[in-house]
Amino acid sequence: MSSRLEHLNHWVAEVAHHTRPAAIHWCDGSDTENRMLIDQMLADGTLHLLNQDTHPGSTLHRSHPDDVARVEHLTYVCTTHHEDAGPNNHWMAPDEAHAEIDALFDGCMQGRTMYVIPYCMGPIDSPLSRCGVEITDSPYVVANMRIMTRMGAAALARIERDGTFVKGLHSIGELDPNRRCIMHFPEELTIKSYGSGYGGNALLGKKCHALRIASHQARSEGWLAEHMLILGIENPQGQTHYIAAAFPSACGKTNLAMLIPPEGYLRDGWKIWTIGDDICWMRPGPDGRLYAINPEAGFFGVAPGTSNKSNPNALASIQSNTIFTNVGVTADHQPWWEGIDNGQVPVTDWQGQPYDASMRPAAHPNSRFTVSAKQCPSYSAMSEDPHGVPISAIVFGGRRASLVPLVFEARDWTHGVLVGAAMGSETTAAATGAVGVMRRDPMAMKPFCGYNFADYFAHWLSFDTEGAKLPKVFHVNWFRKGDDGKFLWPGFGDNLRVLEWMLRRVEGHGGAVETPIGHLPIAHDINLEGVPLSDEAHAKLFGIDREAWQAEFASIGDYLAEYGPRLPQALLEEQRKIAAELA
Ligand code: GTP
Ligand code: SPV
Ligand code: MN
């Protein structure tokens, strides 16, 4: 190997010396390699074969029952100065963190194969892309990384060209929750993760690299690494606008990214193009607009609730070559989850036990599918464009049963940054801990920002420069509930009605009323043809309760105060101005 890879070779040798694997395998990403790994995992029970007539090439993995979600309380950002990680992160001093986790890695790969996975986040030839190498003792991680990233020989060639990469070391260890932690060293471009084999804890290219490390890097290099989907909306005239949207985990990104237009819109010729469903890297282009790429190559999507009605594109994508994790199975070995709504019944639950509805759901609420983005019928060829796509609108949104209307528009960039910073959402099964608890989740980045949120908000504000052509900023809430506890808005495909209004606003001809919290559509500004809404639904989706919003702004003020003097003054002033208008 060339001298430009010496650094990589040296690190691999050092890790092998420390973890003592029985063998070292450099992943080339080939079909042969993938087949070899899948066969080996089928033989040792890591994977189970699903029905090859209905789901060719698809398998099922059952996680350890204590290892089924991200673990935010065991996730650390280890910067030299505590202040740089901020109140939004768990922090440990780098020396102490290395010592603690290195002790866990000591000899941990004995009897196992150590896999070296070179990967590229983003199109191989894009200047916006960044590479990494994950070392892991989990073949399941290798198989997932092969779908989720551009992995193998082409990535290694780019690493050789770049001469730099993010180092990620991972071991499933004993899968013991008491011997588990995920450490990030953004100043060293290094990740160390021990004791979990699940999703964001183990597929290090995803949340660890593409968000926590990348957000830190993006700040110093003048770009943004965000927890956002990217979609293209093609109007009947054939023009396509791109939108990036940040919703917290399990709050609708995959679904919105693959939306199928409702009947009337389909007839008129509207089309949706999927670029990405979870992560977005964007930077200003020469024309002052923000250009975005999806750093991922696949979807690690929530299974429950995915049906031919809610998300036909996702369902079509996962008919073959898919790894299912923690779903139930039917008598003839087809995958099954709550809400699949296909007339079949599960016989085995996600733990491999006979299904008993009184014991547990058939599929874990955070069960997932891993599939190549290329299998999605709405996947856009623009996803491979090295320049990325220009973003016309940024959308923030959360899961809010009360208070927050269906949609509103920020007055300007500074207000938009406040709208993102003030985001709140009810927690979901994507992370361990209580579900349904309202918490602040700025820009849907609470679990993923690799530095102090105060600095992050300042970084967002800094894009508002002379000559910048920034996207308009909106806020949505698909999850408002009525007094009966049911969702008031049909959601899913009908969300296009809201996106269409946004595009009219972007083009300068959509109607709205000004309120202290932003511009709201009056109901007739949004096309509601064929959407029967009760008077209660109407009032709640398109109105604001001033008194309740006063309380919300007081709470937002309290939240921002937690960031102390480091918080940008402009954000505080914006919050105070709106609080005063509401009073
Ligand atoms: P992560 O992969 O964890 O980041 O999640 P995500 O943001 O991609 O969420 P996803 O699209 O997988 O949706 C999560 C859950 O929300 C699923 O159970 C969906 O059925 C549900 N959901 C998505 N969109 C809507 C909507 O418009 N309305 C309602 N009521 N539910 C929705
Ligand atoms: C999320 O939790 O936001 C996910 C799943 O997209 S994970 O890869 O586990 O982070
Ligand atoms: Mn996510």
**HEC string for 557-576:** HHHHHCCHHHCCHHHHHHHH
From 68, 302, 443, mutation site for ligand 1 pocket: most ligand atoms within 8 A of C-beta: 302
Residue ID of nearest Cα to ligand 1 atom 32: 252
pLDDT digit string, tens, across residues 90-106? 999 999 999 999 999 99
Ligand 1 centroid from CA 491, angstroms:
10
Hey, is 266 helix, strand or coil?
A: helix
Task: Answer whether 283's CB lies under 8 Å from 225's CB.
Answer: no
Q: Which atom, in ligand 2's list, is nearest to the CA of 278?
A: 6
Q: Respond yes or no: is residue 131 known to be catalytic.
A: no
23-26 vs 48-49, strand pairing mode: unpaired
For strand 90-91 and strand 75-77, is the pairing parallel, antiparallel, or unpaired? parallel
Q: Are 9 and 97 in contact (CB under 8 A)?
A: no
**Is there an atom of ligand 2 within 6 Å of 70 CB?**
yes
The ligand that comes nearest to the alpha carbon of residue 199 is 2
How does pLDDT run across 337-381, given as a tens digit for each residue? 999 999 999 999 999 999 999 999 999 999 999 999 999 999 999
d(CA 103, CA 108): 9
- CA angle 73–74–77, rounded 5-degree value: 100
> Terminal CA-to-CA distance of the chain, rounded, Å?
68
| Long-range contacts of the stretch 381-385 (C-beta < 8 A, 24+) | 382/232, 382/273, 382/275, 383/123, 383/274, 383/275, 383/276, 383/293, 383/294, 384/123, 385/123, 385/126, 385/293
Among 149, 278, 370, residue to substitute to test ligand 2 (most atoms within 8 Å of Cβ): 278
Q: Is the CB of 441 under 6 A from ligand 1?
A: no
Q: What is the pTM of this model?
A: 0.98
**Smallest-distance ligand from the CA of 245:** 1
In the chain, list all ranges with CATH 3.40.449.10. Answer: 3-44+71-221
Separation CA 93–CA 88 (nearest Å): 16
Please state, in angstroms and rounded to a whole number, the distance separating the CA atoms of residues 451 and 350.
36
3-state SS of the chain: helix, strand, coil percent to 5? 35, 25, 40
Does residue 491 have its Cβ closer than 6 Å to ligand 1? yes
Q: How far apart are CA 390 and CA 287, in angstroms?
A: 10
CB 252 near ligand 2, within 6 Å: no
Residues (pLDDT < 70) of the chain are 1-2
Q: List, in order, residues 6 or more apart from 101 with CB less than 8 Å away.
A: 181, 183, 192, 194
Architecture of domain 226-297+381-582: Alpha-Beta Complex (3.90)
pLDDT, residue 156, reads 98
Ligand 3 center–CA 425 separation, angstroms? 14
> What does the block give as tokens for 68?
């089924």
pLDDT of residue 45: 98
Q: Which atom of ligand 1 is nearest to the CA of 430?
A: 3
The residue nearest atom 3 of ligand 2, judged by CA position, is 249
Q: For residue 497, give the H/E element and its range.
A: helix 495-506
In the chain, CATH 3.90.228.20 sits at 226-297+381-582
Question: How far apart, in whole angstroms, are the C-alpha atoms of residue 162 and residue 120?
Answer: 11
DSSP for 76-143 reads EE--SSHHHH-TTSEE--HHHHHHHHHHHHTTTTTTSEEEEEEEEES-TT-TT-EEEEEEES-HHHHH
Which pLDDT belongs to residue 1? Answer: 53
Handedness of CA 307, 308, 309, 311 (dihedral sign): positive
Q: What was the pLDDT predicted at 60?
A: 99
Ligand 2 atom showing the smallest separation from residue 207 Cα: 10
Q: How far is the CA of 306 from the centre of ligand 1 (A)?
A: 9
Residue 437 exposed, middle or buried by CB count within 10 Å (0-12, 13-18, 19+): exposed
22 and 113 Cβ atoms separated by less than 8 Å: yes
| 329 touches ligand 2 (CB under 6 Å) | no
What is the residue with the minimal CA distance to atom 13 of ligand 1?
A: 252
Of the ligands numbered here, which is closest to the C-alpha atom of 148?
2
| 249 Cβ inside 6 Å of ligand 2 | yes
Compute the Cα dihedral for 498, 501, 505, 511 and give only its sign: negative
Calculate how far, in angstroms, residue 95's C-alpha sits from the geometric centre of ligand 1: 39
| 237 Cα to the center of ligand 2, angstroms | 36
Q: What is the pLDDT of residue 519?
A: 98
- Residue 372 to residue 297: CA distance in whole angstroms: 6
**How many Cα atoms sit within 13 Å of 57 on the Cβ side?**
15
Task: Establish whether residue 249 lines the binding site of ligand 1, counting it when its CB lies within 6 angstroms of any ligand atom.
Answer: yes
User: Which residue among the candidates 27, 108, 131, 251 is catalytic per the annotation?
Assistant: 251
From the CA of 198, the nearest ligand is 2
CA atoms of 224 and 226, how far apart (whole Å):
6
Q: Is the CB of 197 under 6 A from ligand 2?
A: no
pLDDT of res. 524: 86
Domain 3-44+71-221 has CATH 3.20.20.120: no
Distance CA 453, CA 75 (A): 16
- Is the Cβ atom of 368 under 6 angstroms away from ligand 2? no
Cβ–Cβ < 8 Å for 496, 505: no
Question: Closest ligand 2 atom to the C-alpha of 431?
Answer: 2
Q: Which pairing describes strands 368-372 and 335-336: parallel, antiparallel, or unpaired?
A: unpaired
